[in-house]
Structure 1
Amino acid sequence: DSPKYYSRYLPLLYTSVLNQTKRIIDDISKMDELYKVLRLRARPKVMLATTYEQAIDIFEKYKDNILCLISDVTFAKEGEITRDAGFKLVEHVRKQVPDLPIVIQSSNIENEKRAAKQDIKFVFKDTEALLQEIRNFILVNLGFGNFIFKDVDGNKFEVAKNLLEFKEKLKIIPEESISYHAGKNHFSLWLTARGEIEIAKLLAPLKIDDFKSINHLRNHLYDVIEGLMHERTKGKIVSFRENSTWEKSSIAKLSSGALGGKGRGLAFVNSLLYSFDLSELIPKINLRTPRTAIIGIDEFESFLEVNELSPAIYKEKDYLLIKKKFLNANLSDRLIEKMRMLLEQTDKPLAIRSSGLFEDSQMQPFAGVFSTYILPNSHEYLHIRLKQACQAIKLVYASVFSKTSRDYIKAINYKIEEERMAVVIQELVGNAHDEVYYPQISGTAQSYNY
C-alpha cells in the first residue's frame, strides 16, 4: 500500500499492541522477573509485507502464532502489479489456517462482493470510519482486551480480565457459550494475544467433536490452564494476592522488597529442588522445602516509619520497652489481610523466622542472633491465630534491636542502622499424635569450609 495508508494504520496498530502489552504486564506482575521478560517478548508484533512473496514468507514462518491478516487487494506478485493478489493470498492462508481473522481493504467498492462470497471482512479505504472499523476488528476478532463470554446471538454472560479470571469463569458459563467460542477458536486466539503461546498451542488443534460433551470440553480447558499455571510457578517466588493459593511448590511473597539472607537461601534451595530431578541422583528420597511465605523488607521499613519508631528506636537500649512499643504498633492493613488469607489455608504449626539482610551471609552467619517464634496455630478462632502471628512478626522486627543483636553487629564492625528485616513464615514439618504435634527434627546445624 502507499505510505499514506501506512501512516494511518501503523499508529493504530502500535497503539493497540501497546495497550495489549500493558494488559500482559498487569497479568504477570506477580511472576518472577525472568518469566516477565519471556512473556513480554511474546507480546503481539506487527509484520509488514509489500509484495505477495514477502507476505507468504512471513506467513509460513509465523503461521503457528499469527493472529490476523490485514491485506490490500492490489499489489506486486511475481514482480508485477496483480489486481487480485490479496484474494490469492487469502486463499493460500485459509488452506492452512481456516479460522484466521482476515480483513481485505480496498478503495474499489466492487471488491466487497467478492470478499462477502469468501466470508472475508471488507473495509472500504475511502470511508471516514476506516480507523474505527479496523479498531473494532482488532478488539472483536484478535483477542485484544478482556474476554467476553457470549453465545451465538451475542448475549453476554461473563467478562475475564486475565488468565486467572478466565479459568474461574470457565466453571460457571453456560454450555452454549463454550460451544460458540470453541467453534470459532476464540479461546486459543485470546490466549495467543496475551502471550500464552504454550496453552494456545495445546488448545488450537482441538475441535468440539473431540469431546463426549461440552462439559468434557469445559473440564479439559480448565485442567490444561490449571496445570500449566501450576507448573510455571514451581520453584518460583510468587506474589500472594486475593484468591491466591499458598502452594507447596512456590514461595509466596507477602510484601515487596528484598527477601533477606535466609529468604534468599530458601528461595535458591526451592528453585534447585524443582529445577532438577534429584530422584535420579538420590533414589527413593523425596526432598522438598516446607510451605513458605516471605514478608519483604519494605514492610519493616514502612512499619518503623508509619508508627514513628525511627530514628528514636536506634538509641533506645531497654529491650523490654522496645518489644512493648513494637507490639503496640500496627502492621499495614495490606499485610494483615494477606496473613488472614494465608492462615485460612493452614492449621499446621508455624515458624515465624527472621531473615535480616546481613543474615546467613558467607562471612557473618548471624546464627541465633535474631528471634524465631513457633506458633501452634491451633486456636479455633481465626482472628486469634491472626493476632498471634502478627505479634510474632512484630517481635521478630524488635529482635533487630536486642542487646545480642547490637553487640554482634558492633563486633563485626557493622551498623545497626544498616540492618533491615524480612520475615520467613514456614509450616513445621512433623506429625500430629493425639493433640500434640511433633516436629521431625529440631536443632542447629553449622558447616565449616576448609
Structure 2
Amino acid sequence: MGTSIRQRLTTTVAGLALAAGMAGAQAAEPIKVGVLHSLSGTMAISESTLKDTMLMLIEQQNAEGGVLGRELEPVVVDPASDWPLFAEKARGLITQEKVDVIFGAWTSVSRKSVLPVVEELEVPLFYPVQYEGEESSKYVFYTGAAPNQQAIPAVDYLREMLGIERFVLEGTDYVYPRTTNKILKQYLMDHGVAEEDILVNYTPFGFSDWQSEVARIKEFGSQGKPTAVVSTINGDANVPFYKELANQGISAADIPVIAFSVGEQEISGIDTAPLVGHMAAWNYFQSVQTPANDAFIERWHEYIGDAERVTNDPMEAHYIGFNMWVQAVEKAGTADPEAVVDAMVGVTAPNLTGGVSTMMPNHHITKPVLIGEVQEDGQFAVVWETPGMVAGDAWSDYLPDSAELIADWRAPLACGNYNVQSGECSGQNY
C-alpha cells in the first residue's frame, strides 16, 4: 500500500513538474515583432533605415532582459514599395509568423493597405510617419505627425515669419499629399489667401522629369508676391526635384521650399548645394542637442557601424512607439495584442528632443513641432519650434466632413469617428 501511494505521489509530482516546466517553456517563448518596411523599390531610400532602427531597438531591449522575461524576435519582410503587397505581407506576419505587433509602413497608401488586415486580425500597427489625418483606428497607433503637428504650423511659419503670400502645393500623387493639400488649401483660404494664389500639382512616384513642372513654379512665383513651395513629394523623386530648382536658378532666397517628407536620410549622400536654405518641418532633427539624442545617435552609429549614417524623424517615431509598446506590454502583463491595445492610452515615453510624449485617446501622440533649414553638411538648423507639445488631431477642423468628428478609444465611447453633433459613431470605427 505504502509503495503504491509513493508511486502515485511520485507520478503526481512528476506530472506537476512537467506541467510547470511546459508552462515555463511556453512563457519563455519569444515575443515576435513584425517589421514591415520596403527594402527595395522607390521607398527603400526612406524605409530601409527604419528596418535597421527596429532591429537596433529590439537588440537593445533584449540586452536589457527582453520584455516580461521574454526575448523579442524580429520578423522582417520586404513589401518592396508595392502597396497591395503590404497587405499580403502583413497578413503573413500575423497568420503565419504569429507576430503580436507590427511596426511599419511609410506612405499612407501602404498604411491604408494594411489597415483592414490589422482591423480584421486584431493586431496593432505602429505607424511612424507624418500623414494626412482623417483616420483613427483601434489597431493603429500613429506616432508620426498629424497635419496640425506639421503641415499647419509650417504654412503658419511661412505666412507669419517669412511673409509668404503665394503657395505652391507640390506633391506625389497619392492619398497623403492630396488630403494634406486639401486641408492646407482650405486653411489658407480661411486665413485670407486668395484661391488664385494657391497652385496645386501632383506627379507620380519616382518622377524625374521636373523641367516643365519647375518652370511652372518659377512662373507662378514671378507675379510680384512672395512665393513658397509646400512639398509633399515623397521618396526618390525629391533628388531630381531639388536639382532642377538649382538648374533653373531658383534658390531658397527666391522661392523657398518647405518639405514634409525630406529629412536627413533623403539628402544624405547627395550634393546638398541645391538644398541649402530650403526647409523641412518635422518633430525631430538630428541636430537637436539633448542627452537623450546624443545617446541615441551614438548607439545608432555603433549599431550600424558607420559614424556617417544619419538619424531622422521617423526613426524617432519608432523609438517612441517601440518604448510605448514595451511599457504597454508590461502594464498589461502580457504581449497579447488585445490587452496591449487596451493598455496603450495614457502610456508615456521620452522623446529625443527633451520632452515626453503621451499616447492620446485618439491613438495619436503629443509631439513638438520644429522647422529646420538645410545646411551645407546635410543637417538642419532649427529656426523655429513650438513652445511645448502638440497633441495630434485625428480629424481636421478645416474640412466640413470631419470638423465635427472626434476619436476616443476609451470606454464607453470606443469610437474612431464620433460625431459630436449627432452623437453617433458613424460607419466603421476608423
Bucket of the pairwise TM-score, normalised by the shorter protein: under 0.3
Larger Cα Rg: Structure 1 or Structure 2?
Answer: 1
Structure whose residues are more often helix by fraction: 1
- TM-score, reference length from structure 2: 0.22
Query: Which structure is richer in relative contact order (CA contacts within 8 A, separation 6 or more)?
Result: 2
